[in-house]
Structure 1
Amino acid sequence: MRLSDIQIRDPFLLTVPEDGGYVLFGSTDNDIWRPPATGFDCYRSTDLEGWEGPIPAFRPPAGFWSDRNFWAPEVHRHAGRFFMLATFKADGVRRGTQVLVADRPVGPYVPWSDGPVTPRDWECLDGTLHVDGAGEPWMVFCHEWEQVHDGEVCAVRLSQDLRQAVGEPVLLFRASEAPWAVRLRHRRVPEDVAAYVTDGPFLHRLASGGLVMLWSSLGSRGYAMGVARSVTGTVRGPWVQEETPLWADDGGHGMIARTLDGRLLLTLHQPNDTPHERTVLRELVETAQTVRLRG
């Protein structure tokens, strides 16, 4: 298979040096917007060109609380295991990010946290893991526009075993702070309400020690992805938004992977239109302050 053969949203590329290859995760249901949800599949490759799959990475166990909106699985190594952070929802239950775990990169993943670790009375999605310089794990996530209108990116500290949140979430920034983000026009948004989307945060530590965050919203040419920079180099920020998006043309929800030979790859989906979404890989270069597309 080629990437052009694989329908996927919110792609996340895990590099597995001990296996000499890569595992691609993402929102893989044919229609992620409607129940019932199936789970998450993944795909393996040794060269980023040919892919093997689909491989079932997660299937909900009997009695699992969610039946819809299985979105944006990310897999991170932590304490010798593989932890998946993924978004789920159910009828009458707010959307949130739960932690799952496996002993192998491809799974099978099983629930680890007791339901979502995002606040139970918030509409949340797209949690990502960040371990700070002191070794403290944080989850950075989005507080959805559907609840707060001006979508927020927030952070909450996690326990060392990643089973639960520790303390209260902190607000990092709002979508409208980005000069490139445009107002959402939606049938569920009154004309007198300014709504802005936040999606898909991902943090990257630069070789210089700086800390940047990719995140997505709507731009002038559709779905887009920008970069925010932490002034202090810590997850608490403050965060400064770059003037123009890193990716402007109907694609987003990106992350940064490192290839087996050490190059940086931007991974995102494009177009933002079901069922046509496909993974896009583009090489990145670092500066002392940020990341840029090569060429």
Structure 2
Amino acid sequence: MSFDFESAPSFDLVPTVDSSTDYAAVDAPLVDSTPTVAPPVEAKPTNYANIVLPGDFPDPTIAKIGNTYWASATSAEWGPVFPMFKSDNLVDWELVTHVFPGQLPDWCDANFWAPEIFYEGGKTFIYYTARKKNGPLCVAVASADQPEGPYTDHGPLVGQRLGSIDGFPVRDEHGDLYLVWKEDGNSKKKPTPIWAQRINEKRMGLVGKKVELFRNTEKWEGCLVEGSAIVRHDEYFYMFYAGNGCCGKCCNYATGVARAKSLLGPWEKCPQNPILDKNKTWKCPGHGTVAEYEGRWFLLHHAYYTDSHEFVGRQGILSEFTWNAEGWPEFDGRSPQAAPLPDLSVLNVTDNFTSNQLAQTWQWPVGEQPEAGVSDGQLLLTASPVGLGAMVAQRTFAATYKAVTTLDFANLAPGTFAGIGAIGDHANTLSLMAGDQSLQLWHVKGGKQECLTKIAVESCKNLSLRLEVWGGQRYRFSYSADGLTWIAMPTESFAINGTYLPPWDRGIRIALLAQGPATSTVAFNHFSLRNKR
């Protein structure tokens, strides 16, 4: 899979509902590839107005280690937790590993947000947010001898009663290391102070007293300020921060900046705030980290693409800024600069399971890593009797797309169901499941599960299942015994309304599912995801 952001002309990607589209046509043969985030390029690019982390990658962070840039992003409720990408030009990113590729730290179980990469003394530190089991949100730290890991977790540094999130490590004007974080007061309708407190020399604990830097006081900031990212330029520390509502259909996030000559203040907010706001292409830009490349300054931040919005999630984009005569950072037009992706097919995914292990782009619900392996061109997924069962999932990249899988139907054990589904979270899903010589449409909304349709299906060796989505809102499932002739599952209308699927903070995933006794294994022969205009 390749990403050529510069050669093709731009166009607006407008999701449409077209019942005349012939989705029954078989795709032309495609080269089997392990899904990656970005391709190599022949020469250093000069255009940085790009989607660099397409798909659901909120709260991106970036750090330069040696001659290589490293990036990560929020994982939320999907494992493996905290992807680690590398790049030599800020545009083309390779997924290398994850901070927590398997087992999670013992102390936490949810809300894996806002990692920050910090390199010092030959070690890489990841300061991150997670929720303590039966407790508050905390800022914690993990470390490794090299950025690709393996990482050792050292537990939480701070977890206030209202919650502590978005930790950012920075050295002050005297060389002392501090953690800057947000107290999550908005979760309880309280103010959201930004705090700073010294980190000990082992970089794994807080010492001394915390100091408030500032809080949400301006109208545009709404109920919160958060997502601090601090850089020193000339005589000032500059804090890029986000304000207002981050997520979902009604978000109004934007980016501001404040500065101070001393890390502990006093801090002055820019009179032109917000310095980065929505435009026709991108909505709710915020929570980023600053990077400098060849004398140019960039903010790697997230935003919703307006034509796919909450159905895909918050994507990682670069916006370049300069320093104006008053010493403030300034974005051209105060808008995100990434152009719409001209060719969505570069984000298509094909996996024929020919590798010797599961591709790193597959995900699963946090804390529910399935027993999954690849052998002889098949994904072997051990079933689970709980809920929808075991699952592995892929991010989506557009609001209109087609996903297909083929499963070994002949060897499906009695009482075991396997299929494909659109997953918002455990409580909100749509899936087509095959088992016990039947096909069933499973509908889960608000945690309530029902079977919308059930039909008998004749025995066959392989059974192909297809999910088609229009505009993130309408969902249709079909099946084929020969991979050529597709039969739509009967429903009351042409398509099922799936507008309820996305959680407030995440995009939709497409999952392969195995539900049944833990003694059963389901074999999938193929998976593809085709993005549509």
Residue number in structure 2 paired with 1:252: 286
Residue number in structure 1 paired with 2:57: 8
2:182 match: secondary structure: strand
AA of the residue aligned to 1:290: W
Cα displacement (A) at 1:63: 5.7
1:222 match: secondary structure: coil
Residue number in structure 2 paired with 1:188: none
Asked if 2 retains the 8 angstrom alpha-carbon contact of 1:58 and 1:107, the reply is no
1:71 match: secondary structure: strand
State yes or no: 1:161 paired with 2:202: yes
Shift in CA distance, 62/269, structure 1 to aligned 2, threshold 3 Å: closer
Q: 2-side partners of 1:62 and 1:8: how far apart?
A: 20
Match of 2:253 among 223, 236, 243: 223
Residue number in structure 2 paired with 1:282: 319
Residue number in structure 2 paired with 1:293: 331
Encode CA deviations 1:250-292: one digit per residue, 9 max, x unaligned.
1100111122x23211110011746321111011212463211
Q: 2-side partners of 1:282 and 1:202: how far apart?
A: 15
Asked if 2 retains the 8 angstrom alpha-carbon contact of 1:179 and 1:241, the reply is no
Shift in CA distance, 278/121, structure 1 to aligned 2, threshold 3 Å: same
Residue number in structure 2 paired with 1:237: 265
Cα RMSD over matched residues?
A: 2.3
Asked if 2 retains the 8 angstrom alpha-carbon contact of 1:213 and 1:227, the reply is yes
Asked if 2 retains the 8 angstrom alpha-carbon contact of 1:178 and 1:242, the reply is no
Shift in CA distance, 257/153, structure 1 to aligned 2, threshold 3 Å: same
Cα displacement (A) at 1:49: 3.1
Cα displacement (A) at 1:25: 0.6
- Structure 2 unmatched runs, 5+: 1-36, 39-51, 279-283, 334-533
Residue number in structure 2 paired with 1:203: 230
State yes or no: 1:117 paired with 2:157: yes
Cα displacement (A) at 1:152: 1.2
- TM-score when normalising by structure 2: 0.47
State yes or no: 1:265 paired with 2:298: yes
Cα displacement (A) at 1:7: 2.4
Q: 2-side partners of 1:105 and 1:228: how far apart?
A: 30
Encode CA deviations 1:9-56: one digit per residue, 9 max, x unaligned.
1001222343xx3222111x3xx2x4x754111222233333222522
State yes or no: 1:72 paired with 2:114: yes
AA of the residue aligned to 1:169: K
Tell me the matched-pair count.
Answer: 268
State yes or no: 1:139 paired with 2:179: yes
Percentage of identical aligned residues:
25
Q: 1-side partners of 2:285 and 2:85: how far apart?
A: 21
- Structure 1 unmatched runs, 5+: 183-195
Q: 2-side partners of 1:156 and 1:123: how far apart?
A: 16
Match of 1:81 among 92, 111, 123: 123
Encode CA deviations 1:121-163: one digit per residue, 9 max, x unaligned.
3411000011012111000000012246111111111111112
1:93 match: secondary structure: coil
Q: 1-side partners of 2:195 and 2:299: how far apart?
A: 22
- TM-score when normalising by structure 1: 0.82
Cα displacement (A) at 1:294: 4.7
Q: 2-side partners of 1:229 and 1:63: how far apart?
A: 36
Q: 1-side partners of 2:54 and 2:301: how far apart?
A: 15
Residue number in structure 2 paired with 1:152: 193
1:32-71 → structure 2 map (5 Å cutoff):
32=76, 34=77, 37-53=79-95, 55-59=97-101, 61=103, 64-71=106-113
Q: 2-side partners of 1:267 and 1:173: how far apart?
A: 23
Cα displacement (A) at 1:57: 2.6
